[in-house]
């Protein structure tokens, strides 16, 4: 469940590299950030005149991941006020992760659910260096200011997206570049993600 701040809930696909990085029978706390450019929902008033979109250019990403054999479970938070459950399976070269969350206040009686599914392929270059590819389909969330009666009223808007990405990971550090194409409208987004995973062994 999301607790709301001024901009409402926000959610984009989580890190592919860090999902593949969790060691067997251990847990990771992953901290990082995402920068977004492209056709963001910002101030477009696309729903009606008293709505204003406030999709952010950047997000703080935090996740808690646990791995048991091939099973990975965890929680994923964006900007510390949206929380998604995360689950999937990973093998040496392939992983599949899914995530799911809900928002309390939405616009135009939309279904208050966001989440998605991602396929990951990883190619080890050396013991510590890995490169990977990802493909995802998701229902993302972004903040909306409903501006009812001239007063700010935070809520959540949604859009559907499919996309692909590439990442480079060295030990617990990773960088990712991802492209997303919105299904509902002709919008393109580019994501740049940087993350570091702190494992349970320190």
Residue 59 pLDDT exceeds 80:
yes
Is the Cα dihedral 135, 168, 114, 65 positive or negative? positive
Radius of gyration of the chain (CA): 17
Tokens at residue 193, please?
Answer: 């993600």
Q: What percent of the chain has pLDDT over 70?
A: 87
pLDDT-derived band at 143 (thresholds 50, 70, 90) equals confident
pLDDT-derived band at 183 (thresholds 50, 70, 90) equals very high
What domains are there in the chain, each with its CATH number? 16-199 (2.40.160)
Query: Strand, coil or helix: what is 19?
Result: helix
Q: Which residue has the tokens 């008293």?
A: 50
Residue 51 pLDDT exceeds 70:
no
Q: What is the pLDDT of residues 68-117, one digit of tens each?
A: 999 999 999 988 878 899 999 999 999 999 999 988 777 767 788 999 99
- For residue 53, the model assigns a pLDDT of 73
Residue 152 pLDDT exceeds 80:
no
Answer whether 60's CB lies under 8 Å from 35's CB: no
Answer whether 198's CB lies under 8 Å from 31's CB: yes
pLDDT-derived band at 191 (thresholds 50, 70, 90) equals very high
């Amino acid at each position: 469940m999301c607790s709301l701040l001024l901009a409402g809930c926000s959610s984009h696909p989580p890190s592919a590299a860090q999902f593949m990085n969790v060691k067997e029978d251990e847990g990771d706390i992953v901290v990082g950030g995402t920068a977004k450019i492209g056709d963001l929902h910002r101030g477009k008033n696309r729903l009606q005149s008293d709505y204003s979109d406030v999709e952010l250019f950047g997000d703080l990403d935090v996740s808690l991941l646990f791995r048991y054999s091939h099973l990975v479970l965890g929680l994923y938070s964006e900007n510390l006020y949206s929380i998604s459950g995360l689950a999937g399976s990973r093998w040496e070269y392939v992983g599949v992760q899914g995530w799911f969350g809900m928002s309390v206040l939405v616009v135009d009686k939309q279904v208050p659910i966001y989440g998605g599914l991602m396929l990951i392929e990883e190619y080890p270059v050396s013991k510590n260096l890995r490169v990977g590819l990802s493909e995802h389909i998701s229902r993302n969330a972004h903040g909306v200011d409903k501006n009812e009666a001239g007063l700010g009223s935070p809520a959540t808007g949604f859009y559907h997206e499919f996309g692909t990405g590439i990442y480079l990971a060295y030990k617990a550090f990773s960088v990712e570049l991802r492209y997303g194409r919105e299904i509902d409208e002709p919008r393109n987004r580019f994501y740049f993600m940087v993350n570091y995973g702190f494992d349970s062994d320190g």
